[in-house]
Amino acid sequence: MPVGAKADSTTSSPATGGGKEQRVTKQRRAVSAALDELDDFVSTQELYRILQNQGVSVSLATAYRILQSLADEGLVDVLRNGDGEAVYRRCAVTGHHHHLLCRNCGKAVEVEAPAVETWAARTAAEHGFTEVAHTVEIFGLCPDCTARKAAGSL
């Protein structure tokens, strides 16, 4: 936090392990508000550019720290895009879910997949694994990008 900056309030989150308190700074509120306005996953650098365009004073390093903190608290989903870069999104679904992601435009669709859950639990049990977690992301072209590709404009 910059010298002279002051936290406005704190919040405790059991998701951070041990109820670690997080300062709610104006930068954290700005990052959170920007995520609320976005429909698709965004990289830290893309979010940083959005904040800069809005006149928000936040460093790239601070944006990285805030996004990681939000992910650790379970307040945003984080995954790796096709290039291996971490991307973040505030999801509407609060429970465990998966995503369909467009390789071209980044559009994301949240999906529940009971068959995947059953398969993961069965596979883990067959191999004696416990306390398992999994991530399933499906990459492809969304309907709009598929249409643009068919029309030759992609």
Which segments are annotated as binding site for Fe cation?
A: 96, 117, 134
Beta strands in the chain (DSSP E): 9-12, 21-24, 42-43, 77-80, 86-89, 98-102, 108-111, 137-140
Distances 104 to 113, 117, 122, 143 between C-alpha atoms, Å: 23, 28, 34, 11
Binding residues: 96, 102, 105, 117, 134, 142, 145
Which residues are known binding-site members for Zn(2+)?
A: 102, 105, 142, 145
For residues 2 and 78, give the distance between their C-alpha atoms in angstroms, rounded to a whole number. 26
C-beta of residue 77 within 8 angstroms of C-beta of residue 89: yes
Cα(104)–Cα(124) distance, rounded to whole angstroms? 33
> 11 with 27: CB under 8 angstroms?
no
